[in-house]
Amino acid sequence: MNLNKHSNEQGQVALIFIASIVIVIAALALLIDGGRWLTMRSRARMLADASAYSGASVVDVQRAGEGDIVLSNSSISSVSAKDVAIEAFTANKASTPEYMDFDDPEILVSGNEIRVTVTGRSRALFGSQWGLNYSATVTSSARAGWGISTEN
């Protein structure tokens, strides 16, 4: 009995195994880069929310009609809500991982609300190793208002 009838099929398992490993590694690379993008999106939301809420939380409601004047206290003397929002953004940005790059926020104070828009880019971890230079861009906005509520 001849056991080597299919001698031309030797090594096929090795080829299938190598192709499977390449596919698994590529899927893991996309999974990790996608996870970094999701983390970046969450971080952008946090930065925008924290900046907007910080700016809105210090506004003097009684003087809100005059502009975005903050409450006077021992450490802050009549600075704008925009300044407080920028300070909060800068403080929170300091703890951001090195692969996330955020631009300065766009802050608009209008009437009785503050809007903060944060834009950032995340560099790819595995794509750059394989010569694929791509990055994910994330934009997040937050709005916070102040005033006296008339709702019951």
Q: For residue 126, what are the contacts with CB-CB under 8 A and spacing of at least 6?
A: 29, 30, 32, 33
Confidence of residue 134 (pLDDT cuts 50, 70, 90): confident
What residue ranges do the domains of the chain occupy? 11-145
Mean pLDDT of the region 62-79: 53
* pLDDT tens by residue, 43-68: 999 999 999 998 888 776 655 555 54
* pLDDT tens by residue, 102-112: 999 999 988 77
Q: pTM of this prediction? A: 0.72
Report the candidate in 6, 62, 40, 1 with the shortest Cα–Cα distance to residue 124: 40
